[in-house]
Chains A and B, each alone.
Chain A
């Protein structure tokens, strides 16, 4: 573990990414402490510019709600959606990819054709369709984002399995009588995971962006304080009060950047070929 941290800490960008990510996580954790009231409740006059009022230091939106409170509480929503959608996408992708790569042949053909069918659809359109059909509560939005994001992890896992399944240690496992489930999940999967873990950070970053895009189109859950909702709200007053959209925009930028930098750092630390450079 200490050795891993040393590898990770060699890249300054990765450390900055981790610091930013911890900052966002800190905001999410302390939201209830600093802003105990409902962030969607009225707090002051509408469209109050930032740094005018010490109580409302990031100003208010069109309806007079505290932007700082929405940013802090929004961090919870963004991280929650990012993590949950990523977990769903990775779970689906790893299972389908593992089965396709391990069994090959017809199983591989069928599973990969399904994956390609999903891949050829632009995933945002698919997401819009899912949300249009199943409604836009926080849960359905998260699941819908997960359902449109698993194809790349599936292909990645399959590629790892294809090369690992012919390795001698897997054959050795077969000769001592291990069953397929043990071979897939206990023998091969731990060796296939590092690139998938790295890719998970990309999936998470994209999930956060997808939710924001949905919210911008007023298609996300309107009953939660999400950054996307705030941007969508600011759209109407973009020319007079641009800060309503810009502040949550910066929050999204920082979060996605942090997640991507952490992913890159993990990649460098987990990739043995880059060691010693």
Chain B
């Protein structure tokens, strides 16, 4: 390809990290075993067969469609998996990832994924074995901090709340807990059903590291627009101005 995508503007750490997330060039920080990821997602027991909504595509036979011929089905689609989901809640207090950027990551880097973006949660839906794959990638990468991000299928309240004393994001259903060893343990699946065993997710980032890896602009981190009385616009603002102005003028079409 002659063209290299730019993904996102800005020369601060926030801009750089946003480009990392969007491009998928994120650092791997941990290795959560696949079976554990599956257990946390809660859609099937680890090791169990996948449920299907239709027979494998090869058995079914597909209509004669040029698009289908050009596009390789994902593993999940080929097998006929049901669509399942992973949903994340990211704290506004310097979680590495933020909802739209999880969605961008999914849309750009993950085939066959349907991202949904809200403020208190972000969801990706895909064929079951595909979403397991994508979830593990997210879990292992710097997109996720185990104290400030959590998988929550319901009762998501917490992104806009102050942190707990131990630095964890508040969770009404207590799906994760901080162990005495300083590691964060997943004790329930994403909808709050207790797991058979606790899963060690590892140590959370320090405050300094979270601030370094975050993609959120904040006045006590990297502000997007400087401060009151001392405005300094990040390129993200200039980009937004440019886009908004063009959109507004295009509708007018003075010519």
| A, B in one complex | no
Where the two chains meet, the residues of B that have a C-beta atom closer than 8 Å to any C-beta of A are none
Where the two chains meet, the residues of A that have a C-beta atom closer than 8 Å to any C-beta of B are none
